[in-house]
Amino acid sequence: MRVAAVVATALVFVAGVGGVIAWLTASNQVENAFTLGTVVPDLSESGPDGGPFEDGDNIKQNVNVTNNGNIPIYVRAQVSIYWLDANGNQMWEEPYMGEKDPGQPTGVIIPPGDYMMTWGSSVMDAADLGAFDGTCWVKGADGFYYWTMPLNPKTEDGTLEPTENLIERCEYYGEYSDGRRFVCDISIQGIQAEPARAVEEAWGVTVDSNTGAITALPGDGQNAGGSTTDSNNQAGA
Average confidence (pLDDT) over 28-46: 67
Q: How sure is the predictor about 182, in pLDDT bands with cuts at 50, 70 and 90?
A: confident
d(CA 157, CA 66): 15
Dihedral over Cα of 128, 125, 115, 189: its sign:
negative
d(CA 103, CA 35): 58
Q: Measuring CA to CA, which residue among 86, 235, 70 is closest to residue 155?
A: 70
d(CA 118, CA 62): 10
Task: Go through the chain and tell me how many residues it has.
Answer: 237
**Domain-by-domain residue ranges, the chain?**
4-236
Q: Give the pLDDT of residue 71.
A: 93
Average confidence (pLDDT) over 162-173: 92
d(CA 133, CA 148): 10
d(CA 66, CA 52): 15
Q: What are phi and psi of 127, to 5 degrees?
A: -65, -25
Share of the chain above pLDDT 90, in %: 42
Q: Measuring CA to CA, which residue among 97, 88, 91, 99 is closest to residue 172?
A: 97
Q: How sure is the predictor about 100, in pLDDT bands with cuts at 50, 70 and 90?
A: low
* pLDDT tens digits for range 9-27: 333 333 333 334 333 222 2
C-alpha distances (whole Å) from 1 to each of 36, 95, 179, 235 are 51, 17, 11, 12
Q: Compute the mean pLDDT over every residue in the chain, rounded to the nearest whole number.
A: 76
**Least confident range of 112-116, 175-179, 212-216, 230-234:** 230-234
CB 153 within 8 A of CB 41: no
Dihedral over Cα of 102, 106, 111, 116: its sign:
positive
